[in-house]
Amino acid sequence: MTSKALEASTAAAHTGTPPHPLAEFWSDFTANAGAVAGLFVIVALILSALFADLIAPHSPVLTNNQVFLKPPFWQEGGSLNFPLGTDAIGRDILSRLIHGARLSLLIGIAVVTLSVAAGTILGLVAGFFRGVTDITIMRLMDITLTLPSLLLAIVIVAILGPGLMNAMLAVAIVLLPHYVRIVRAAVITEVSKDYVTAAKVAGAGPLRLMFKEVLPNCVAPLIVQATLGISTAILDAAALGFLGLGAQPPLPEWGTMLADAREFVLRAWWVVTLPGIAIFVTVLAFNLLGDGLRDALDPKLKR
């Protein structure tokens, strides 16, 4: 066939411009009802976090000696003034939950950002340079993975002292190996491919190779794992808070609220149940979002 004929047939094959990748992604994503629901919840959480001071009816930290342990409004003794009841020293639970959204989102995003950033760098270095560097890094990651994650986090917090920042650092360290592994595996696969060899031949240095050529191709699985990582981070930080090692009172972090409330489990169920529901809904939303992202981004599942 002549080149003209080839051109003509290829021209005939196009019905129009192919859809923009973002639009294609969006339509795949929205096909998943769960993922959309998750997205809505997260947007709602972000809004409450941003506008907490405006939305919350009371201050989350001011104590009120008159209203210890009031039940939610639908129970006898409750009032709409404190719609979800009050805790042991008279703080409104609804306001604390709303302000707590701020903390939980902060925890999730900060921990994952830190973990992903550090993990990416370590993974790139390990995957590119191989040899002793690779072995050392991977041994360290293996050790971190072998020790039960909560135990390691508890020891780290015990060293640094209880507090929100230290708890976040501990959880970030515990999550690190996952990202290192993903990035390293992706790097090793990509590095053997032709385009990288071509770039190397063309004279690209290792830094340029790492960040401009290889990294963009690892982004997809990273995004999915990062979103799922947010939910793990929130759960782990809440576990530390529950054990009294995370955010300290009077910070309205949901896990810490559960720790304080454990002694009231038989007498004031709302102090125990409601923060747990908040954690659950948030984590579920992020998991749904992560699943939706994975389904939309992963070409293998596109059949």
Task: Round to whole Å and give the CA distance between 185 and 99.
Answer: 39
Q: Map residues 154-183 to x or -, x wherever contact with another protein holds by CB under 8 A.
A: xxx-xx-xx---------------------
133 binds another protein (CB under 8 A): no
Closest distance between another protein and the C-beta of residue 33, in Å? 10
**Distance between CA atoms of residues 150 and 152, nearest Å:** 5
DSSP labels for 14-47?
Answer: -SSPPPPHHHHHHHHHHT-HHHHHHHHHHHHHHH
Q: How far is the CB of 161 from another protein (least distance, A)?
A: 7
**Residue 124 has which token pair?**
């790139």
User: How many chain residues touch another protein (CB under 8 A)?
Assistant: 56
- Least distance (Å) from another protein to the CB of residue 163? 11
| Residues comprising the chain, all counted | 303
- Answer yes or no: are the C-beta atoms of 112 and 290 closer than 8 Å: no
The Cα 236–Cα 123 span in angstroms is: 23
188 is an interface residue for another protein by CB under 8 A: no
Tokens representing 136 are 């050392």
The 193-222 site mask, x for binding another protein (CB under 8 A), equals ------------------------------
Binding site for another protein (CB under 8 A): 34, 63, 65, 68-69, 88-90, 139-140, 142-143, 145-151, 154-156, 158-159, 161-162, 231, 235, 238-239, 242-243, 248-250, 255, 258, 262-269, 272-273, 276, 279-280, 283-284, 287-288, 291, 303
